[in-house]
Each structure stands twice: as structure tokens, then as C-alpha cells.
Amino acid sequence: MNKKIYILIPIILILISSFYYFIFIYNKIPDIKFESTKWKQAQLYGMDQTRGQMLNDLLANHNFNQMTKTEIINLLGPQSDSTYFKDWDLRYWLCLDYIDSKWLCFKFNNDKVKEMTILVD
């Protein structure tokens, strides 16, 4: 019985370490500078993390508070085709977040941004 424990403990530690590495270290994506053209060309709904990597720079350097819907579409392109979050006026798929997806969503009032948030489906 003791020999089994000596074998199981290292295996369990390896599994826990691997899980920790994948979730907290490997899965971190580095930020990159926002570029409208690259944002619009990013592959959606797959392993492409371009939009997720650009998000911090996008939010830091663009004030969406008084932007119009047309200005946002010119900057980010047409919204992502999806049935998620239909109560939002514009929805942009960002990236995978473990097994879910992150979305940048906008609501408008009188053609100006009323609310902006990041949602996870």
C-alpha cells in the first residue's frame, strides 16, 4: 500500500503543476498595439488572440464615451455575427477565455455610446 502512495503523490503533483502552468502562465497572452486594419482582419471564433491582445491598448487610447456608432464601425469594422448578447447594439468577438469567449459590447443612445462593457459567454 505504501508503494502505491509513493507513486501516486508525484503523479498528482505533476498533474497539479501542469494544470497551474496552463491556466496561470501559458494562457497569458501579451498585449500588442491596437491597429484598426489588423483588428478587422483577425480570424474570429478560433485560436486567433489578436483582438484580445489589442484590447488594453484600444481601451487606453480611444475614448468611446462620445463616439457615434458610425465612428466605432469605422474603427473596429462591422460587428461580429452572433446570436449572443442581442440586447447590445454592437458586439465584437475578442478572443477565447479558457473555454468561453470574450466580447466587447456597446449600447447607444441618440447615436452616441451610452454603455460599453466586456462580456463572457
> Per-domain residue ranges for the chain?
1-30, 31-120
pTM over 0.85: no
Neighbours of 48 (CB within 10 A): 15
Check whether domain 31-120 has CATH 3.40.50, yes or no = no
- Give the model's pLDDT for residue 21: 53
The pLDDT score that the predictor gives to residue 6 is: 66
pLDDT (tens digit per residue) in 52-103: 999 999 999 999 988 999 999 999 999 888 888 889 999 998 988 777 888 9
Q: Is the model more confident about 89 or about 1?
A: 89
Phi, psi of 102 (to 5 degrees): -100, 145
More confident residue, 107 or 80: 107
Helices (H), 21-113: 36-41, 50-61, 69-76
φ, ψ dihedrals at 62, nearest 5° = -135, 125
- Separation of CA 9 from chain center: 36
Given a contact cutoff of 8 angstroms between Cβ atoms, the answer to whether 97 and 51 are in contact is: no
User: Residue 66, SS3?
Assistant: coil
24-61: per-residue pLDDT in tens?
A: 555 567 889 999 999 999 887 777 789 999 999 999 99
Question: What is the model's pLDDT at position 49?
Answer: 86
What pLDDT, on a 0 to 100 scale, did the predictor assign at position 86? 87
